[in-house]
């Protein structure tokens, strides 16, 4: 359907062609002697309206009431100019095949407004709605634009591992990998993948990753640094995991992260890369996903097109952490968490800065206190702050977190000791400083937060096909 309707003249150029479409019935409106059958195949938001008349083979199915919302069909016919004003073309059906019927009484995705909370409970059917179809296509376009942006600039994509022994952020928010030991050790044919409950086997905590502790990665950054100090600019794009038990609209236990790492680069280069990346992908969806973006503007967040257009056009604003704290201290708003120099910015502070102070433009906050940031960030000369940067955007808050990395061996060793980290386990990371070290910098962007920001969807659970949050891992 996208192929037909996406043309210059919305399909008019293809009038006269004989085609077959396959998809799912959205509505079937029976008139006196014919019926309007709206079919959607997920390729775009629009349905293709099919005119099924008494001369159409299979019209009996309609008369018998067998083609209801949700039924899968194949319709053959000729593309004609539409008499109606809602679309340029429609399909004059010569043959209708019913591929899979539905029970109209029990089908959960009827054509009416369904709450997004309810739709989360039917994650297997929600992609059939307009909203989730549009979010899925825009998410796909953002992923494509991400690779396109980095590939056009010579970055090399690196696969970072999912299972690892290191805790990049040092925040201890890791899921542990363990082994299921079947109940009957003699019967080695017991399929471990059956059901990992205590009925089938024991979760043996002493027997983790073949005898060594291992976790699900919280970030691919340290691995990206290894490749950046050999191949120059690289990026990762893959799933990452955080065992934070938070029930918020911006946290997932499993989320995708894009992590570029730039060699021979400092914080300025890093910020410039983050801004041009964000502007590039936003411009891409505005140009390439017009119909879906218009849908978000009408139904999800009024004004999102203008907001994103501004993001793509205007320079990002910059402020140091210290100046941001001073602005917040003078604010008239009463915050739930009081601000003082040295505390981490909470989402209420981030939103106040971007929405109230900086008028909706993305804001880059730099030079955070070293004590609230990870061990690998490059120390500034003041001895108190690090060359860190977070990109904050309205509604979502922190979209990107990044920094220049500490490339000086002695400074890094001292910091690892200061923080009481186990130096031996960083031997390979220190080697990168020992052998041919270079200034380098990078950032991590939470892909689902980007989807939230780009679609106006307010809950991050609706920005990923299968959200992993406390209490939900069914599908
Ligand atoms: O700020 P974070 O923790 O930074 C890092 O992991 C660095 N190693 C990145 C780097 O420099 N290569 O996470 C980066 C981003 C955040 O800004 C946020 O967008 C997203 O990842 N993020 C989450 N998204 C969804 N759910 C969560 N629980 C998230 N935690 C972080
Ligand atoms: Mg962060």
Residues with Cβ within 8 Å of 246's Cβ and at least 6 positions away in sequence, in order, are none
Instruction: Match 């730039």 to its residue by tokens.
Output: 262
> From CA 8, how far away is CA 22, in angstroms rounded?
23
Give the Å distance between the CA of 235 and the centre of ligand 2.
18
Sketch the domain layout of the chain as residue ranges: 2-100, 133-161+218-462
CATH says 2-100 is which class? mainly beta
* Residue range 254-278, pLDDT digits in tens: 999 999 999 999 999 999 999 999 9
Residue nearest to atom 30 of ligand 1 (CA): 251
Q: What is the pLDDT of residue 179?
A: 76
* Interior angle at CA 103, CA 99 and CA 107, nearest 5: 105
* Nearest alpha carbon to residue 139 among 475, 467, 397, 453: 453
- Packing angle, helices 447-455 and 130-152, rounded to 10: 120
> From CA 94, how far away is CA 168, in angstroms rounded?
61
The chain-wide mean pLDDT, for the chain, equals 93
Length of the chain: 475
Asked if 453 and 396 count as a contact pair (C-beta separation under 8 A), the reply is yes
Q: Under CATH, which number does the domain 133-161+218-462 receive?
A: 3.30.930.10
Best residue for ligand 1 mutational test, from 139, 219, 344, 399 (most atoms within 8 Å of Cβ):
219
- What are the backbone angles phi and psi of residue 121, rounded to the nearest 5°? -80, -10
The end-to-end CA distance of the chain, in Å, is: 29
* Residue range 347-376, pLDDT digits in tens: 899 999 999 999 889 999 999 999 999 999
Asked if 447 and 258 count as a contact pair (C-beta separation under 8 A), the reply is yes
* Interior angle at CA 163, CA 175 and CA 200, nearest 5: 65
Q: What percent of the chain has pLDDT over 70?
A: 94
Instruction: Match 């400092």 to its residue by tokens.
Output: 266
- What are the backbone angles phi and psi of residue 450, rounded to the nearest 5°? -65, -40
Using the predicted structure, report yes or no on whether residue 47 has a pLDDT greater than 90.
yes
Using only the alpha carbons of the chain, give its radius of gyration. Answer: 27
Residue 194's pLDDT band (cuts 50, 70, 90): very low
* Nearest alpha carbon to residue 66 among 96, 42, 88: 96
Report the relative pairing of strands 317-320 and 363-366 from DSSP bridges: parallel
Residue nearest to atom 20 of ligand 1 (CA): 446
Residue nearest to atom 23 of ligand 1 (CA): 446
ipTM over 0.90 threshold? yes
Q: What is the pLDDT of residue 203?
A: 60
Predicted TM-score (pTM) of the model is 0.94
Kindly list the protein residues whose Cβ atom lies closer than 6 A to any atom of ligand 1: 168-169, 219, 221, 242, 244, 251-252, 255, 257, 259, 398-403, 442-446, 448-449
Give the Å distance between the CA of 358 and the centre of ligand 1.
23
Asked if 38 and 67 count as a contact pair (C-beta separation under 8 A), the reply is no
Q: What is the pLDDT of residue 210?
A: 72
Q: What is the pLDDT of residue 282?
A: 98
């Amino acid at each position: 359907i996208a192929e037909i309707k996406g043309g210059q003249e919305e399909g008019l150029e293809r009038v006269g062609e004989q085609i077959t479409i396959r998809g799912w019935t959205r509505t079937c409106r029976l008139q006196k002697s014919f019926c309007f059958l709206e079919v959607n195949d997920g390729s775009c938001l629009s349905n293709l309206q099919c005119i099924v008349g008494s001369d159409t083979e299979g019209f009996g199915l309609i008369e018998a009431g067998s083609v209801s919302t949700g039924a899968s069909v194949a319709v053959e016919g000729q593309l004609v100019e539409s008499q109606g004003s809602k679309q340029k073309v429609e399909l004059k059906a010569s043959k209708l095949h019913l591929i899979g019927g539905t029970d109209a009484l029990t089908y959960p995705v009827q054509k009416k407004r369904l709450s997004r909370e309810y739709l989360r409970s039917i994650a297997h059917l929600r992609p059939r709605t307009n909203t989730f179809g549009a979010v899925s296509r825009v998410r796909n376009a953002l992923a494509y634009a991400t690779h396109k942006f980095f590939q056009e600039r010579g970055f090399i994509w690196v696969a970072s591992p999912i299972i690892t022994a290191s805790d990049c952020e040092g925040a201890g928010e890791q899921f542990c990998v363990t082994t299921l030991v079947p109940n009957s050790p003699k019967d080695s044919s017991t399929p471990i993948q059956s059901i990992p409950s205590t009925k089938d086997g024991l979760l043996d905590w002493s027997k983790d990753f073949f005898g060594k502790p291992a976790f699900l990665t919280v970030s691919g950054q340290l691995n990206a640094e290894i490749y950046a100090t050999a191949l120059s600019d690289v990026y990762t794009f893959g799933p990452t995991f955080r065992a934070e038990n938070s029930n918020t609209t911006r946290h997932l236990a499993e989320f995708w992260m894009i992590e570029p790492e730039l060699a021979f680069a400092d914080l300025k280069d890093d910020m410039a890369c983050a801004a041009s990346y964000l502007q590039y992908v936003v411009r891409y969806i505005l140009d390439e996903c017009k119909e879906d973006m218009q849908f978000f503007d009408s139904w999800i967040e009024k004004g999102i097109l203008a907001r994103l257009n501004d993001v793509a056009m205007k320079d990002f604003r910059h402020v140091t952490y210290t100046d941001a704290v001073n602005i917040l201290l003078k604010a008239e708003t009463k915050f739930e968490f009081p601000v003082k120099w040295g505390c981490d910015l909470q989402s209420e502070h981030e939103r106040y800065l971007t929405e109230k102070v900086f008028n909706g433009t993305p804001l880059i906050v730099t030079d955070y206190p070293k004590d609230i940031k990870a061990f690998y960030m490059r120390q500034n000369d003041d001895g108190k702050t690090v060359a860190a940067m977070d990109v904050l955007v309205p509604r979502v808050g922190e979209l990107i977190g990044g920094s220049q990395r500490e490339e000086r061996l002695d400074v890094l060793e001292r910091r690892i000791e200061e923080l009481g980290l186990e130096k031996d386990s960083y031997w390979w990371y220190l080697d990168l400083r020992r052998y041919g070290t270079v200034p380098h910098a990078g950032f991590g962007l939470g892909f689902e937060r980007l989807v939230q920001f780009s679609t106006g969807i307010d809950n991050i659970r609706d920005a990923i096909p299968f959200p992993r949050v406390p209490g939900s891992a069914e599908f």
